[in-house]
Amino acid sequence: MPKHTFRLNGEEVTVDVRDDERLLWVLRDVLGVTGPKYGCGINVCKACTSHLNGRAVNPCAVPVGALKPTDEITTIEGLAATVDAELHPMQEAWLEQDVAQCGYCQPGQIMAAVALVRRVAGEGREVTDEDLDGIRNICRCGTYPRIREAIRSAAGRM
């Protein structure tokens, strides 16, 4: 089988899997990273949302063969390290707003929110309702009002 090298949460990793193996299975089953959740496996629910070079992606839709050795994958496990803290400001806001109920979708929600806030800040503006409406991660518990509040709260600290 071919070997694939990329960066995961700041560390270089090499895996020996088929080119078409989805990154979600590589993360969970080969590398033991369980933050990105399997929800649908078809790029709809977005429970697996992680970052690829700082942008939100869904590993269930990314074949590992598409990754380059310089590509950086960040999962919820590595998020705090991106700001050299124990918790990322978005994780802190999630706790302060008491967002999680079952918690299954929360890693993906947080990763999508961080990518959104970073993009909006890079555009030199504040997060709008339209931006928040663009997040398509599914929360079966329906904590969307608290999610929106947490994102707005964290945006001011990022």
For the residues 69-85, what does the mean pLDDT come to?
Answer: 97
Task: Please report which confidence band the pLDDT of residue 1 belongs to, taking 50, 70 and 90 as the band edges.
Answer: confident
pLDDT in the model for residue 126: 96
Residues 119-158: tens digit of each pLDDT: 999 999 999 999 999 999 999 999 999 999 999 999 999 9
Q: What are phi and psi of 84, to 5 degrees?
A: 50, 55
If one counts every other C-beta atom within 10 angstroms of the C-beta of residue 65, the result is 13
| CA neighbor of 146 nearest in space, from 102, 98, 106, 110 | 98
pLDDT in the model for residue 58: 98
Residues 28-55: tens digit of each pLDDT: 999 999 999 999 999 999 999 999 999 9
Q: Is 157 helix (H, G, I), strand (E, B) or coil?
A: coil
Q: What is the mean pLDDT of the chain?
A: 97
